[in-house]
Chain A
Amino acid sequence: MSMTQVGDEKTLQLTRRQLLKGIAAALGLPVYHATAFAESLDSATSTAVPFDDFVRFSRNITGHRQLDLQTARKIFDIFADEAWGMDHLKRVHDKLISGPHTDSALASFDKGEHWFLGHFLTTWITGIYYHSSGNKMVSYEHALMHEAFEHIRPIPGLSEQEFGFWSKPPFEKGM
């Protein structure tokens, strides 16, 4: 979602409905191929989501084109293991891409689907799968949160910087 600038700096002051409209706009990007997904479902179980579609879905939701595939596989496997995992993924995904009126699709999110979207984002961004079934580490260095600080600080524990670099501010193009 971060790849699309929705509105301007006043985004945070918009209503929740308007914010979700923005999410829908991001998800409407042409990368996703609804037809292919529908076809893959025909030959899958009612809740199966092929890995390639999971990756495409992840890219659309997070707005990141370059997702680490090993991390994607780990998240995919975790969701596949949860009895509700792929079902929620499919439901959320189907509702978001259904028809031309995505805002009405979003308005139809039930509590669980709304929760799932946040859960999905949190997993990718923090690299940790937080759930009462048992929290799981997905990825330390490929957690998307590090990208927010890519030009500001090294990933903790993985610095290759010279001694004392911290005494100057980052240039935000290199540290």
Chain B
Amino acid sequence: MVYDTDVVVVGSGVAGALLARELMSAGLGVTILEAGETWQRGESFTRYMQSWNRTITAPFKPASWAPIPADHSYFAGKGNKKYQPAFLKGVGGTTRQWTGITPRFLPADFELHSRYGIGTDWPISYDELEPYYVRAEYQMGVSGDSDDHHGSPRSKSYPMSAIPMTYSDQVIAKRLASSGVRIASFPAARNSRAYDGRPACRGNNSCTPLCPIGASYSADVDIEKSVAMGARLTTKAVVYRFEVDKQKRIRRAFYKHPDGSTHSIAARHFVLACNSIETPRLLLMAANRDSPNGLANSSGQVGRNLMDHVIFVSKFNMPEAMYLGRGPQSVSTILAGRDGPFRSKYAAAKFFLGNDLNIQQEAAGMLRDDGNWLEPLKQLKEAAIHQGQIGAEVEQLPNAGSRLLLDKKRTDPLGLPLPNINYRLSDYTKKGVEVWQKYARSLIHTLDATEIDSSFSLSSHHPCGTTRMGRSAKDSVVNEQCQSHDHDNLYIIGGSVFPAMGTANPTLTIAALSIRLADYIKRVEK
């Protein structure tokens, strides 16, 4: 058979970008198919400044042919309608608008069932993934405190020293120290010095939705490097089905352009890196006569076990000025809640100190009261400078009933079925939220502060689990190498392969798995 390329990578987010770069470095031919288009950073920032509705997707010109959750028509479902994870479709994917926090998983996160009798174990251990965490940290550029691993042991120091805590974080740290509560700077894919041709952070406080100067890593950086090495990038390419031969090997990927025209590409290997919603959507769409329940879905697990971090944030007024909004939107963590025997009963949480001061929202809210019309700026400042924020992301367990299906009626502009999501929050997580909200309130009390507001969301925009990794083809979609159990030249990478999600932001673990998969494909190709 004549191949157009060695490896087709579907999706240009962090998973696809790092994989493409690794494979290109090894001399393999790579074609990246991206549903969205390329965004220029400067144009994105201008777009953001010109938008009245400064949401996390505001800077990025939407792909009308490939809708995302920000489009109201995207989601539907019988389950909890308030579950709305956000992601982007465009070169660089959702790392174009992330906060950049990159903690590793804890060793216990890989062994939840073995250690605590709950949830599911990963088929690989922390120790097996650790060298890839190191490589991911160096490739992306992660700043962290090499003397304080926060429970995730390391074999090498961080490439850059930690982002310094904000003044407000230091105030909280000092006040909580006597209670034995420890605050520390998170590791983050944010430059603390010039690195990889990108500048050090200047504290723009606009991380989400956009770092205007590229101090925060985004995957378009690795897509550019891959293309510079010879990779082909085809944008506006929406993959929707595959040609499979009698040996169950994938031969071709078919994709549509916005004008509806169809194209195909033949390759030796196919990697799906489309995120935890779009990857299962694609596999289900790609059902054929031999795989009527979806490609790579002999286990019936494609689309199931959808997990996400529940997030809550408490805002409070401190007796002293805190000056939030200076520096990155979140720098520090409270070292509590991520692990312990309690995990047999309720979910773990990762705490963060917020530094996201949205003065436009504060001002608009304040001006609804005519009592604030007299000296609005003075009152805005007084209210804002005393504000503090503590939040947490709480772990969710896999649940086969929490799943994505294809909608039977709704389609996107290209005629492809949209997702239908039934999301269920486990009692384990609900109990965890209750416990950790109470803990947050106790911290606020210790700070001598007054709570003013509390928000809650079912999604931290960390969806995962929908094409999970496992040893058995009966209950998982991919094996320990992220290779499909059903098709030996089909691979899946991203949060969708997580069998358990822990409390860490998923991006660094996705990056590590991606580099690990690249090594595997290189070995196969040798």
The interface of chain A, by Cβ under 8 A from chain B, is: 1-2, 6, 11-12, 16, 19-20, 22-23, 114, 117-118, 121-122, 125-130, 135-137, 140-141, 143-149, 152-154, 156-170, 175
Contact = CB atoms under 8 A, between A and B. Distances in A.
B192 interface: yes
Interface in B311-336: 321, 323, 325-328, 331
A118 B203 contact: no
Contact of B326 (A2, A114, A162, A165): A165
B169 to A, nearest CB: 9
Interface in B154-181: 164-167, 170
A11 B374 contact: yes
Contact of B373 (A118, A129, A156): A118
Interface residues of B, number: 51
Interface in B33-92: 45, 48-53
Contacts of B200: 163
B364 A130 contact: yes
B374 A121 contact: no
Interface stretch (B204-212, B290-298, B346-354): B204-212
B53 A153 contact: no
B368 interface: yes
Most chain B CB atoms below 10 A, which of A16, A135, A169: A169
Contacts of B26: none
Contacts of B381: 148-149, 152
A137 B367 CA distance: 17
B108 interface: no
B377 A2 contact: yes
B359 interface: yes
A165 B205 CA distance: 12
A167 B377 contact: no
Contacts of B166: 166-167
Nearest to A26: B374
Contacts of B17: none
B378 interface: yes
Lowest 6 A-B CB distances belong to which pairs?
Answer: A166-B327, A140-B49, A166-B326, A148-B377, A167-B164, A148-B381
B380 A118 contact: no
Nearest to A168: B167
Nearest to B325: A153
Contacts of A149: 325, 359, 381, 384
A135 B360 CA distance: 14
